[in-house]
A and B are shown apart, each in its own frame.
Chain A
Amino acid sequence: MTPKVATLHDAIARHVHDGACVALEGFTHLIPFAAGHEIIRQGRRGLHLVRMTPDLIYDQMIGMGCASRLTFSWGGNPGVGSLHRLRDAVEQCWPAPLEIDEHTHAGVAAAYCAGAARLPFATLRGYLGTDLPSVNPRIRSIECPFTGEQLAAVPAINPDVTILHAQRADRQGNVSLHGIVGAQREAAFAARALIVTVEEIVEVLPPAMNGIVLPHWIVSAVAPCPGGAYPSYVQDHYARDNAFYQRWDAIARERAGFRAWMDRHVLGSPDHAAFLASLREAA
Protein backbone atom coordinates (compact mmCIF):
# COMPACT_ATOMS: atom_id res chain seq x y z
CA MET A 1 0.00 0.00 0.00
CA THR A 2 1.19 3.54 -0.80
CA PRO A 3 2.16 5.32 2.42
CA LYS A 4 -0.56 7.88 3.16
CA VAL A 5 1.21 9.89 5.84
CA ALA A 6 3.08 12.84 4.33
CA THR A 7 4.30 16.26 5.33
CA LEU A 8 1.89 19.08 4.49
CA HIS A 9 4.54 20.60 2.21
CA ASP A 10 4.85 17.41 0.17
CA ALA A 11 1.09 16.75 0.06
CA ILE A 12 0.39 20.23 -1.35
CA ALA A 13 3.36 20.07 -3.75
CA ARG A 14 2.19 16.74 -5.11
CA HIS A 15 -1.57 17.28 -5.38
CA VAL A 16 -2.32 21.01 -5.77
CA HIS A 17 -1.32 22.42 -9.15
CA ASP A 18 -1.76 25.85 -10.74
CA GLY A 19 -5.23 26.19 -12.25
CA ALA A 20 -6.74 23.35 -10.23
CA CYS A 21 -10.23 23.32 -8.75
CA VAL A 22 -9.63 23.15 -5.00
CA ALA A 23 -12.13 22.94 -2.13
CA LEU A 24 -10.90 23.63 1.40
CA GLU A 25 -14.02 22.70 3.33
CA GLY A 26 -15.06 22.97 6.97
CA PHE A 27 -18.17 24.88 8.04
CA THR A 28 -16.76 27.37 10.59
CA HIS A 29 -15.31 24.32 12.41
CA LEU A 30 -12.22 22.40 11.16
CA ILE A 31 -11.22 24.95 8.50
CA PRO A 32 -7.86 23.84 7.06
CA PHE A 33 -5.92 27.08 7.60
CA ALA A 34 -2.49 25.43 7.66
CA ALA A 35 -3.09 23.88 4.24
CA GLY A 36 -4.30 27.19 2.81
CA HIS A 37 -1.17 28.91 4.11
CA GLU A 38 1.02 26.23 2.55
CA ILE A 39 -0.69 26.81 -0.82
CA ILE A 40 0.10 30.53 -0.42
CA ARG A 41 3.75 29.75 0.46
CA GLN A 42 4.12 27.53 -2.59
CA GLY A 43 2.79 30.37 -4.76
CA ARG A 44 -0.07 28.59 -6.53
CA ARG A 45 -1.87 30.69 -9.12
CA GLY A 46 -5.13 30.55 -11.08
CA LEU A 47 -6.94 28.30 -8.64
CA HIS A 48 -10.68 27.79 -8.83
CA LEU A 49 -11.53 27.92 -5.13
CA VAL A 50 -14.71 26.30 -3.84
CA ARG A 51 -16.10 26.80 -0.33
CA MET A 52 -19.58 27.43 1.03
CA THR A 53 -18.19 30.19 3.28
CA PRO A 54 -14.88 31.59 1.96
CA ASP A 55 -14.04 32.72 5.53
CA LEU A 56 -10.67 34.22 6.46
CA ILE A 57 -8.70 31.48 4.71
CA TYR A 58 -10.00 32.38 1.23
CA ASP A 59 -9.78 36.09 2.08
CA GLN A 60 -6.06 35.39 2.58
CA MET A 61 -5.63 33.20 -0.50
CA ILE A 62 -7.53 35.64 -2.73
CA GLY A 63 -5.61 38.63 -1.33
CA MET A 64 -2.33 36.82 -2.00
CA GLY A 65 -3.27 36.24 -5.64
CA CYS A 66 -3.82 32.46 -5.62
CA ALA A 67 -7.33 32.47 -7.14
CA SER A 68 -8.96 33.37 -10.43
CA ARG A 69 -12.40 31.93 -9.72
CA LEU A 70 -14.57 31.42 -6.63
CA THR A 71 -17.59 29.18 -6.11
CA PHE A 72 -19.32 30.12 -2.85
CA SER A 73 -22.59 30.81 -1.08
CA TRP A 74 -21.83 33.21 1.81
CA GLY A 75 -18.78 35.48 1.72
CA GLY A 76 -18.59 37.35 5.01
CA ASN A 77 -16.59 37.35 8.25
CA PRO A 78 -19.20 35.61 10.44
CA GLY A 79 -20.65 37.95 13.06
CA VAL A 80 -18.08 40.63 12.19
CA GLY A 81 -18.74 41.98 8.69
CA SER A 82 -17.03 41.94 5.32
CA LEU A 83 -14.17 39.90 3.95
CA HIS A 84 -12.22 42.94 2.75
CA ARG A 85 -9.83 41.08 0.44
CA LEU A 86 -12.69 39.23 -1.26
CA ARG A 87 -14.53 42.53 -1.65
CA ASP A 88 -11.44 44.24 -3.06
CA ALA A 89 -11.06 41.46 -5.63
CA VAL A 90 -14.72 41.67 -6.67
CA GLU A 91 -15.05 45.47 -6.53
CA GLN A 92 -11.57 46.56 -7.71
CA CYS A 93 -10.02 43.41 -9.28
CA TRP A 94 -7.17 43.54 -6.73
CA PRO A 95 -4.77 41.78 -6.80
CA ALA A 96 -6.35 40.02 -9.78
CA PRO A 97 -9.82 39.73 -11.33
CA LEU A 98 -11.95 37.09 -9.63
CA GLU A 99 -14.75 35.35 -11.49
CA ILE A 100 -17.54 34.50 -9.09
CA ASP A 101 -19.92 31.53 -9.27
CA GLU A 102 -22.43 32.42 -6.58
CA HIS A 103 -24.98 30.07 -5.03
CA THR A 104 -26.99 29.45 -1.89
CA HIS A 105 -25.90 27.07 0.87
CA ALA A 106 -28.59 24.60 -0.13
CA GLY A 107 -27.36 24.69 -3.73
CA VAL A 108 -23.68 24.09 -2.90
CA ALA A 109 -24.58 21.34 -0.44
CA ALA A 110 -26.68 19.61 -3.10
CA ALA A 111 -23.91 20.07 -5.70
CA TYR A 112 -21.40 18.35 -3.40
CA CYS A 113 -23.85 15.48 -2.81
CA ALA A 114 -24.25 15.05 -6.58
CA GLY A 115 -20.48 15.22 -7.00
CA ALA A 116 -19.95 12.57 -4.34
CA ALA A 117 -22.43 10.30 -6.13
CA ARG A 118 -20.81 11.10 -9.52
CA LEU A 119 -24.10 12.42 -10.87
CA PRO A 120 -23.87 15.26 -13.41
CA PHE A 121 -26.11 17.67 -11.52
CA ALA A 122 -28.13 18.20 -8.38
CA THR A 123 -31.77 19.08 -8.17
CA LEU A 124 -33.50 20.88 -5.35
CA ARG A 125 -36.54 23.00 -4.62
CA GLY A 126 -34.31 26.01 -4.31
CA TYR A 127 -33.32 29.42 -5.70
CA LEU A 128 -37.02 30.37 -5.55
CA GLY A 129 -37.81 34.07 -5.91
CA THR A 130 -34.14 35.09 -6.04
CA ASP A 131 -32.23 37.03 -8.70
CA LEU A 132 -29.28 34.62 -8.47
CA PRO A 133 -30.24 32.60 -11.61
CA SER A 134 -30.23 35.85 -13.64
CA VAL A 135 -26.56 36.45 -12.78
CA ASN A 136 -25.34 32.84 -12.69
CA PRO A 137 -26.02 30.80 -15.86
CA ARG A 138 -25.07 27.63 -13.98
CA ILE A 139 -28.29 27.83 -11.98
CA ARG A 140 -30.91 26.32 -14.24
CA SER A 141 -34.23 24.54 -13.92
CA ILE A 142 -35.51 21.11 -14.78
CA GLU A 143 -39.00 19.70 -15.01
CA CYS A 144 -39.78 16.76 -12.76
CA PRO A 145 -40.61 13.85 -15.12
CA PHE A 146 -43.24 12.58 -12.69
CA THR A 147 -45.08 15.69 -11.50
CA GLY A 148 -44.08 18.40 -13.96
CA GLU A 149 -42.84 20.64 -11.14
CA GLN A 150 -40.03 23.02 -12.10
CA LEU A 151 -37.03 22.37 -9.86
CA ALA A 152 -33.65 24.07 -9.65
CA ALA A 153 -30.62 22.31 -11.11
CA VAL A 154 -26.96 23.04 -10.45
CA PRO A 155 -23.92 21.24 -11.85
CA ALA A 156 -22.21 18.73 -9.57
CA ILE A 157 -19.05 19.94 -7.84
CA ASN A 158 -16.10 17.59 -8.33
CA PRO A 159 -12.96 19.34 -7.08
CA ASP A 160 -9.58 18.21 -8.37
CA VAL A 161 -8.54 18.31 -4.73
CA THR A 162 -10.54 18.59 -1.53
CA ILE A 163 -8.61 19.54 1.60
CA LEU A 164 -10.00 18.98 5.10
CA HIS A 165 -8.78 19.19 8.69
CA ALA A 166 -9.84 16.49 11.16
CA GLN A 167 -9.24 15.32 14.71
CA ARG A 168 -7.32 12.16 13.85
CA ALA A 169 -6.25 9.56 11.35
CA ASP A 170 -4.60 6.17 11.62
CA ARG A 171 -1.44 5.12 9.76
CA GLN A 172 -3.49 3.42 7.08
CA GLY A 173 -5.08 6.78 6.24
CA ASN A 174 -8.56 6.34 7.74
CA VAL A 175 -9.76 9.73 8.99
CA SER A 176 -12.20 10.41 11.81
CA LEU A 177 -13.91 13.72 12.49
CA HIS A 178 -16.67 14.91 14.77
CA GLY A 179 -18.47 18.06 15.91
CA ILE A 180 -19.95 20.37 13.30
CA VAL A 181 -19.25 18.43 10.11
CA GLY A 182 -20.74 20.76 7.49
CA ALA A 183 -20.52 19.27 4.01
CA GLN A 184 -17.02 17.87 4.52
CA ARG A 185 -17.91 14.22 3.91
CA GLU A 186 -19.68 15.12 0.65
CA ALA A 187 -16.78 17.35 -0.47
CA ALA A 188 -14.36 14.50 0.34
CA PHE A 189 -16.21 11.89 -1.69
CA ALA A 190 -16.74 14.35 -4.56
CA ALA A 191 -13.01 15.00 -5.00
CA ARG A 192 -10.48 13.36 -7.32
CA ALA A 193 -7.81 13.69 -4.62
CA LEU A 194 -8.26 14.22 -0.89
CA ILE A 195 -5.71 15.71 1.50
CA VAL A 196 -6.50 15.72 5.21
CA THR A 197 -4.48 17.50 7.88
CA VAL A 198 -5.03 16.08 11.37
CA GLU A 199 -4.35 16.98 14.97
CA GLU A 200 -2.85 13.54 15.58
CA ILE A 201 -2.00 10.21 14.00
CA VAL A 202 -3.04 7.22 16.10
CA GLU A 203 -2.37 3.49 15.76
CA VAL A 204 -6.06 2.54 15.80
CA LEU A 205 -9.09 4.84 15.48
CA PRO A 206 -11.59 4.51 18.32
CA PRO A 207 -14.71 2.59 17.20
CA ALA A 208 -17.38 4.94 15.76
CA MET A 209 -20.16 2.86 14.28
CA ASN A 210 -22.17 5.87 13.11
CA GLY A 211 -19.40 8.42 13.29
CA ILE A 212 -17.90 10.10 10.28
CA VAL A 213 -14.95 8.13 9.01
CA LEU A 214 -13.37 8.82 5.64
CA PRO A 215 -12.07 5.43 4.51
CA HIS A 216 -8.40 5.13 3.56
CA TRP A 217 -8.99 4.34 -0.09
CA ILE A 218 -10.53 7.75 -0.78
CA VAL A 219 -7.75 9.56 1.12
CA SER A 220 -4.71 10.60 -0.96
CA ALA A 221 -2.56 11.98 1.86
CA VAL A 222 -2.75 12.55 5.58
CA ALA A 223 -0.53 15.23 7.08
CA PRO A 224 -0.11 15.58 10.84
CA CYS A 225 -0.58 19.26 11.65
CA PRO A 226 -1.43 20.14 15.26
CA GLY A 227 -3.27 23.45 15.44
CA GLY A 228 -3.90 23.20 11.69
CA ALA A 229 -7.37 24.73 11.90
CA TYR A 230 -6.40 27.78 13.97
CA PRO A 231 -7.98 30.47 14.14
CA SER A 232 -10.93 28.18 13.32
CA TYR A 233 -11.25 25.41 15.86
CA VAL A 234 -11.19 21.69 16.54
CA GLN A 235 -13.86 20.25 18.81
CA ASP A 236 -12.26 18.77 21.95
CA HIS A 237 -8.85 20.28 21.06
CA TYR A 238 -9.02 24.09 20.93
CA ALA A 239 -11.68 26.81 20.67
CA ARG A 240 -12.43 29.21 17.82
CA ASP A 241 -10.44 32.39 18.35
CA ASN A 242 -13.36 34.80 18.06
CA ALA A 243 -11.16 37.71 19.15
CA PHE A 244 -8.85 36.99 16.19
CA TYR A 245 -11.80 36.89 13.78
CA GLN A 246 -12.74 40.35 15.10
CA ARG A 247 -9.15 41.61 14.78
CA TRP A 248 -8.98 40.35 11.18
CA ASP A 249 -11.37 43.13 10.14
CA ALA A 250 -8.69 45.75 10.84
CA ILE A 251 -5.76 43.60 9.61
CA ALA A 252 -7.35 42.99 6.20
CA ARG A 253 -9.08 46.33 5.66
CA GLU A 254 -6.18 47.96 3.78
CA ARG A 255 -3.96 46.29 1.17
CA ALA A 256 -0.66 47.33 2.72
CA GLY A 257 -1.56 46.23 6.24
CA PHE A 258 -2.82 42.92 4.93
CA ARG A 259 0.35 42.28 2.93
CA ALA A 260 2.56 43.19 5.87
CA TRP A 261 0.67 40.77 8.15
CA MET A 262 0.83 37.96 5.59
CA ASP A 263 4.52 38.59 4.89
CA ARG A 264 5.37 38.54 8.56
CA HIS A 265 3.27 35.62 9.78
CA VAL A 266 2.59 33.35 6.80
CA LEU A 267 5.39 33.88 4.24
CA GLY A 268 7.83 34.62 7.08
CA SER A 269 7.10 31.26 8.70
CA PRO A 270 8.40 28.06 7.09
CA ASP A 271 5.50 25.97 8.40
CA HIS A 272 2.39 26.06 10.59
CA ALA A 273 4.22 25.50 13.86
CA ALA A 274 6.35 28.57 13.09
CA PHE A 275 3.20 30.52 12.11
CA LEU A 276 1.60 29.77 15.49
CA ALA A 277 4.86 30.66 17.25
CA SER A 278 4.99 34.01 15.41
CA LEU A 279 1.47 34.83 16.62
CA ARG A 280 2.39 33.88 20.18
CA GLU A 281 5.40 36.15 19.95
CA ALA A 282 3.29 39.04 18.62
CA ALA A 283 0.66 38.65 21.37
Chain B
Amino acid sequence: MNDWTRDEMMTVAAARLLWDECVCFVGIGLPSAACNLARLTHAPDIVLVYESGTLGTRPTVLPLSIGDGELAETAACVIPLPEVFSYLLQAGRVDVGFLGAAQVDRFGNLNSTVIGPYDSPKTRLPGAGGATEIAAHAKRTFVMLKATPRSLVPRLDFRTSAGFLEGHGARARTTMRGAGPQSVITDYGVLTPEPGTDELQLSALFQGATTEEARAATGWPLKVSANLATVAPPTSTELETLRALHARTREAHQRPVRLPA
Protein backbone atom coordinates (compact mmCIF):
# COMPACT_ATOMS: atom_id res chain seq x y z
CA MET B 1 0.00 0.00 0.00
CA ASN B 2 1.56 3.33 -0.93
CA ASP B 3 -1.47 5.61 -1.18
CA TRP B 4 -1.04 6.95 2.35
CA THR B 5 -1.16 10.61 3.33
CA ARG B 6 1.43 12.48 5.40
CA ASP B 7 -1.14 12.85 8.18
CA GLU B 8 -1.55 9.09 8.30
CA MET B 9 2.20 8.55 8.25
CA MET B 10 2.57 10.99 11.13
CA THR B 11 0.05 9.09 13.26
CA VAL B 12 1.61 5.72 12.38
CA ALA B 13 5.15 6.93 13.15
CA ALA B 14 3.95 8.27 16.51
CA ALA B 15 2.11 5.06 17.36
CA ARG B 16 5.24 3.01 16.72
CA LEU B 17 7.09 4.88 19.48
CA LEU B 18 4.80 3.33 22.08
CA TRP B 19 5.33 -0.12 23.52
CA ASP B 20 3.04 -2.72 25.04
CA GLU B 21 2.17 -2.24 28.73
CA CYS B 22 3.55 1.29 28.89
CA VAL B 23 1.53 3.81 30.91
CA CYS B 24 0.76 6.65 28.53
CA PHE B 25 -0.82 10.01 29.39
CA VAL B 26 -2.76 11.01 26.27
CA GLY B 27 -3.30 14.53 24.99
CA ILE B 28 -6.32 15.23 22.82
CA GLY B 29 -6.22 15.43 19.02
CA LEU B 30 -3.28 13.95 17.09
CA PRO B 31 -1.81 12.13 20.16
CA SER B 32 -5.15 10.46 20.92
CA ALA B 33 -5.30 8.89 17.45
CA ALA B 34 -1.68 7.70 17.67
CA CYS B 35 -2.08 6.19 21.15
CA ASN B 36 -5.24 4.31 20.18
CA LEU B 37 -3.67 3.10 16.94
CA ALA B 38 -0.83 1.62 19.02
CA ARG B 39 -3.38 -0.08 21.28
CA LEU B 40 -5.26 -1.52 18.29
CA THR B 41 -2.09 -2.82 16.60
CA HIS B 42 1.18 -3.72 18.37
CA ALA B 43 0.46 -2.59 21.96
CA PRO B 44 -2.82 -4.24 23.08
CA ASP B 45 -1.99 -3.90 26.78
CA ILE B 46 -0.89 -0.26 26.73
CA VAL B 47 -2.46 1.66 29.62
CA LEU B 48 -4.00 4.83 28.28
CA VAL B 49 -4.60 7.58 30.83
CA TYR B 50 -6.65 10.66 29.97
CA GLU B 51 -6.56 13.65 32.31
CA SER B 52 -10.27 13.23 33.02
CA GLY B 53 -9.26 10.34 35.30
CA THR B 54 -10.04 7.45 32.98
CA LEU B 55 -7.34 4.79 33.45
CA GLY B 56 -6.72 1.89 31.09
CA THR B 57 -9.42 3.09 28.74
CA ARG B 58 -10.12 1.22 25.47
CA PRO B 59 -12.42 3.48 23.43
CA THR B 60 -14.05 2.06 20.29
CA VAL B 61 -14.08 5.54 18.72
CA LEU B 62 -11.77 8.47 19.37
CA PRO B 63 -13.15 10.90 21.92
CA LEU B 64 -13.80 14.48 20.79
CA SER B 65 -13.00 15.75 24.30
CA ILE B 66 -10.71 14.20 26.91
CA GLY B 67 -13.81 13.40 28.96
CA ASP B 68 -16.28 11.73 26.57
CA GLY B 69 -18.50 9.06 28.14
CA GLU B 70 -16.85 6.52 25.82
CA LEU B 71 -13.63 6.91 27.81
CA ALA B 72 -15.32 6.30 31.16
CA GLU B 73 -17.42 3.37 29.93
CA THR B 74 -14.39 1.51 28.52
CA ALA B 75 -11.97 2.37 31.36
CA ALA B 76 -10.56 -0.06 33.89
CA CYS B 77 -11.43 2.59 36.49
CA VAL B 78 -12.20 6.28 36.81
CA ILE B 79 -10.44 8.35 39.49
CA PRO B 80 -10.90 11.95 40.67
CA LEU B 81 -8.91 14.51 38.74
CA PRO B 82 -6.73 15.77 41.63
CA GLU B 83 -5.45 12.19 42.01
CA VAL B 84 -4.50 12.01 38.33
CA PHE B 85 -2.13 14.91 38.76
CA SER B 86 -0.82 14.19 42.25
CA TYR B 87 -0.77 10.38 42.65
CA LEU B 88 0.01 9.46 39.05
CA LEU B 89 1.81 12.26 37.27
CA GLN B 90 3.63 14.11 40.07
CA ALA B 91 4.48 10.77 41.70
CA GLY B 92 6.31 9.64 38.55
CA ARG B 93 3.92 6.80 37.67
CA VAL B 94 3.53 7.75 34.00
CA ASP B 95 5.97 6.35 31.40
CA VAL B 96 5.07 8.54 28.43
CA GLY B 97 3.32 11.86 28.05
CA PHE B 98 2.02 12.47 24.53
CA LEU B 99 1.49 16.14 23.75
CA GLY B 100 0.48 18.50 20.97
CA ALA B 101 1.26 22.24 20.83
CA ALA B 102 0.87 25.31 18.66
CA GLN B 103 4.61 26.05 18.71
CA VAL B 104 7.77 24.09 19.49
CA ASP B 105 11.17 25.73 19.71
CA ARG B 106 14.60 24.30 18.85
CA PHE B 107 15.01 22.93 22.38
CA GLY B 108 11.61 21.22 22.44
CA ASN B 109 9.85 23.77 24.66
CA LEU B 110 6.12 24.11 23.92
CA ASN B 111 3.70 27.01 23.59
CA SER B 112 -0.04 26.41 23.83
CA THR B 113 -0.91 29.71 25.55
CA VAL B 114 -0.61 32.77 23.37
CA ILE B 115 0.76 34.15 20.08
CA GLY B 116 2.00 37.70 20.56
CA PRO B 117 2.35 39.47 23.93
CA TYR B 118 0.50 37.84 26.86
CA ASP B 119 -1.26 41.07 27.86
CA SER B 120 -2.37 42.00 24.34
CA PRO B 121 -2.35 38.73 22.43
CA LYS B 122 -2.61 38.40 18.68
CA THR B 123 -4.10 34.95 19.18
CA ARG B 124 -5.25 33.63 22.50
CA LEU B 125 -4.73 29.83 22.59
CA PRO B 126 -6.41 27.47 25.10
CA GLY B 127 -3.55 27.41 27.61
CA ALA B 128 -1.70 24.83 29.65
CA GLY B 129 -4.32 22.37 30.85
CA GLY B 130 -2.36 19.31 31.90
CA ALA B 131 0.59 19.92 29.58
CA THR B 132 2.95 21.79 31.93
CA GLU B 133 3.02 19.02 34.51
CA ILE B 134 2.97 16.23 31.90
CA ALA B 135 6.04 17.82 30.31
CA ALA B 136 7.76 18.05 33.69
CA HIS B 137 6.87 14.70 35.26
CA ALA B 138 6.20 12.02 32.63
CA LYS B 139 9.33 9.88 32.37
CA ARG B 140 9.59 11.00 28.74
CA THR B 141 7.40 12.94 26.33
CA PHE B 142 6.60 12.69 22.64
CA VAL B 143 5.24 15.70 20.79
CA MET B 144 3.20 15.84 17.59
CA LEU B 145 2.63 18.90 15.42
CA LYS B 146 2.43 19.87 11.78
CA ALA B 147 5.56 21.64 10.66
CA THR B 148 5.58 25.20 9.38
CA PRO B 149 8.07 28.01 10.05
CA ARG B 150 5.36 29.44 12.34
CA SER B 151 5.00 26.26 14.40
CA LEU B 152 8.68 25.21 14.58
CA VAL B 153 10.16 28.47 15.80
CA PRO B 154 13.55 29.64 17.05
CA ARG B 155 11.92 31.37 20.05
CA LEU B 156 8.48 30.89 21.61
CA ASP B 157 6.11 33.76 22.26
CA PHE B 158 5.29 32.06 25.57
CA ARG B 159 6.73 28.96 27.17
CA THR B 160 3.80 26.89 28.46
CA SER B 161 5.64 23.62 28.98
CA ALA B 162 9.30 22.79 29.37
CA GLY B 163 11.36 20.87 26.89
CA PHE B 164 15.10 21.29 27.39
CA LEU B 165 14.78 24.99 28.38
CA GLU B 166 17.91 26.72 26.99
CA GLY B 167 19.49 23.37 26.10
CA HIS B 168 23.01 22.21 26.92
CA GLY B 169 21.85 20.28 30.00
CA ALA B 170 19.68 23.10 31.46
CA ARG B 171 16.73 20.78 32.09
CA ALA B 172 18.83 18.19 33.89
CA ARG B 173 19.83 20.89 36.40
CA THR B 174 16.21 21.51 37.49
CA THR B 175 13.90 19.55 39.82
CA MET B 176 11.94 18.21 36.85
CA ARG B 177 11.93 14.44 37.13
CA GLY B 178 11.09 13.49 33.53
CA ALA B 179 13.67 13.28 30.76
CA GLY B 180 11.80 15.66 28.45
CA PRO B 181 10.85 15.36 24.76
CA GLN B 182 12.51 12.37 23.14
CA SER B 183 10.79 12.70 19.75
CA VAL B 184 8.90 15.42 17.89
CA ILE B 185 6.80 13.89 15.13
CA THR B 186 6.04 16.29 12.27
CA ASP B 187 4.45 15.75 8.88
CA TYR B 188 7.85 15.42 7.17
CA GLY B 189 9.62 13.24 9.70
CA VAL B 190 10.96 12.97 13.22
CA LEU B 191 13.15 15.33 15.25
CA THR B 192 15.15 14.12 18.24
CA PRO B 193 17.40 15.99 20.69
CA GLU B 194 21.07 16.08 19.80
CA PRO B 195 23.12 14.62 22.66
CA GLY B 196 25.00 17.36 24.51
CA THR B 197 23.25 20.41 23.06
CA ASP B 198 19.65 19.09 23.40
CA GLU B 199 18.85 20.87 20.11
CA LEU B 200 16.19 19.16 18.01
CA GLN B 201 17.69 17.73 14.85
CA LEU B 202 16.26 15.80 11.94
CA SER B 203 16.76 12.11 12.63
CA ALA B 204 14.26 10.46 10.27
CA LEU B 205 12.35 11.44 7.14
CA PHE B 206 9.11 9.99 5.84
CA GLN B 207 9.35 8.28 2.48
CA GLY B 208 9.05 10.97 -0.19
CA ALA B 209 10.12 13.83 2.10
CA THR B 210 13.45 15.61 1.67
CA THR B 211 15.86 17.44 3.96
CA GLU B 212 15.24 20.58 1.86
CA GLU B 213 11.52 20.33 2.57
CA ALA B 214 12.21 19.76 6.27
CA ARG B 215 14.52 22.79 6.42
CA ALA B 216 11.94 24.97 4.62
CA ALA B 217 9.27 23.98 7.14
CA THR B 218 11.47 24.67 10.18
CA GLY B 219 12.01 28.14 11.61
CA TRP B 220 15.62 27.61 12.70
CA PRO B 221 18.64 26.28 10.78
CA LEU B 222 17.82 22.60 11.12
CA LYS B 223 20.71 20.23 11.80
CA VAL B 224 20.53 16.80 10.22
CA SER B 225 21.64 13.72 12.11
CA ALA B 226 24.64 11.84 10.76
CA ASN B 227 22.46 8.71 10.96
CA LEU B 228 19.44 10.09 9.11
CA ALA B 229 16.92 7.28 8.69
CA THR B 230 13.85 6.78 6.52
CA VAL B 231 10.65 5.85 8.31
CA ALA B 232 9.12 2.67 6.91
CA PRO B 233 5.78 3.45 5.24
CA PRO B 234 2.56 2.35 6.96
CA THR B 235 1.76 -1.34 6.74
CA SER B 236 -1.62 -2.34 5.38
CA THR B 237 -2.68 -3.36 8.91
CA GLU B 238 -1.71 0.05 10.32
CA LEU B 239 -3.50 1.91 7.55
CA GLU B 240 -6.66 -0.17 7.64
CA THR B 241 -6.85 0.04 11.43
CA LEU B 242 -6.34 3.82 11.42
CA ARG B 243 -8.84 4.45 8.63
CA ALA B 244 -11.48 2.27 10.27
CA LEU B 245 -10.92 4.10 13.58
CA HIS B 246 -11.37 7.49 11.90
CA ALA B 247 -14.46 6.30 10.00
CA ARG B 248 -16.10 4.98 13.22
CA THR B 249 -15.20 8.24 14.95
CA ARG B 250 -16.65 10.50 12.24
CA GLU B 251 -19.88 8.53 12.26
CA ALA B 252 -20.16 8.57 16.05
CA HIS B 253 -19.48 12.30 16.42
CA GLN B 254 -22.20 13.19 13.93
CA ARG B 255 -24.76 10.81 15.42
CA PRO B 256 -27.72 12.84 16.66
CA VAL B 257 -28.06 12.86 20.44
CA ARG B 258 -31.59 12.46 21.68
CA LEU B 259 -32.25 15.64 23.62
CA PRO B 260 -33.25 14.87 27.18
CA ALA B 261 -37.01 15.37 27.59
Hey, which chain A residues are within 8 Å of B260, CB to CB? 226-227, 230, 234, 237-238, 276
Bound together, the chains give a CA A135 to CA B160 distance in angstroms of 11
Which of B123-131, B200-208, B224-232 forms contacts with chain A? B123-131
Hey, which chain A residues are within 8 Å of B105, CB to CB? none
Which of A13-21, A98-106, A216-224 forms contacts with chain B? A98-106
Which of A4-12, A68-76, A153-161, A258-266 forms contacts with chain B? A68-76
A233-B121 in contact (CB<8A): no
Q: How far is the CB of A212 from chain B (nearest CB, A)?
A: 8
B78-A185 in contact (CB<8A): no
Contact with B along A32-63 (1 / 0, CB 8 A): 00000000000000000000110000000000
B121-A245 in contact (CB<8A): no
Bound together, the chains give a CA A113 to CA B126 distance in angstroms of 24
Bound together, the chains give a CA A231 to CA B54 distance in angstroms of 21
Contact with B along A127-157 (1 / 0, CB 8 A): 1111110010000000000000110000000
B174-A129 in contact (CB<8A): yes
Bound together, the chains give a CA A129 to CA B161 distance in angstroms of 6
B159-A78 in contact (CB<8A): no
B53-A106 in contact (CB<8A): no
Given contact pairs A27-B67, A125-B90, A129-B109, A104 touches B124 in the complex (Cβ within 8 A): no
Bound together, the chains give a CA A249 to CA B167 distance in angstroms of 38
The count of chain A contact residues (Cβ–Cβ below 8 Å) is: 68
The count of chain B contact residues (Cβ–Cβ below 8 Å) is: 65
B89 at the interface (CB under 8 A from A): yes
Q: How far is the CB of A266 from chain B (nearest CB, A)?
A: 15
B53-A182 in contact (CB<8A): yes
Given contact pairs A241-B257, A280-B259, A74 touches B127 in the complex (Cβ within 8 A): yes
Bound together, the chains give a CA A125 to CA B135 distance in angstroms of 12
B162 at the interface (CB under 8 A from A): yes
Which of B80-88, B139-147, B189-197, B234-242 forms contacts with chain A? B80-88
Hey, which chain A residues are within 8 Å of B69, CB to CB? 29, 179-180, 233, 235, 239-240
A102-B257 in contact (CB<8A): no
Q: Which of B78, B123, B124 contacts A180 (CB 8 A)?
A: B78
Q: Which of A74, A79, A86, A244 contacts B128 (CB 8 A)?
A: A74
Q: Besides the contacts A29-B72, A181-B80, what 15 more A-B pairs have beta carbons closer than 8 Å?
A: A27-B52, A28-B67, A73-B128, A75-B124, A76-B125, A91-B124, A104-B132, A105-B81, A105-B128, A125-B136, A129-B176, A180-B78, A183-B80, A186-B80, A240-B64
Which residues of A line the B interface, CB within 8 A? 27-29, 52-53, 72-76, 78-80, 82-83, 86-87, 90-91, 102-106, 109-110, 112-113, 124-132, 135, 149-150, 179-183, 185-186, 226-227, 230-231, 233-235, 237-246, 276, 279-280, 283
Q: Which 8 A-B pairs have the closest CB atoms?
A: A129-B162, A28-B67, A227-B260, A76-B126, A74-B129, A78-B65, A79-B64, A106-B85
CB pairs A–B below 8 angstroms (23 shown): A28-B65, A53-B129, A74-B128, A79-B65, A82-B126, A91-B123, A91-B124, A105-B133, A106-B85, A126-B136, A128-B136, A129-B162, A131-B113, A132-B160, A182-B53, A186-B80, A230-B260, A238-B258, A240-B68, A240-B257, A242-B68, A242-B257, A276-B259
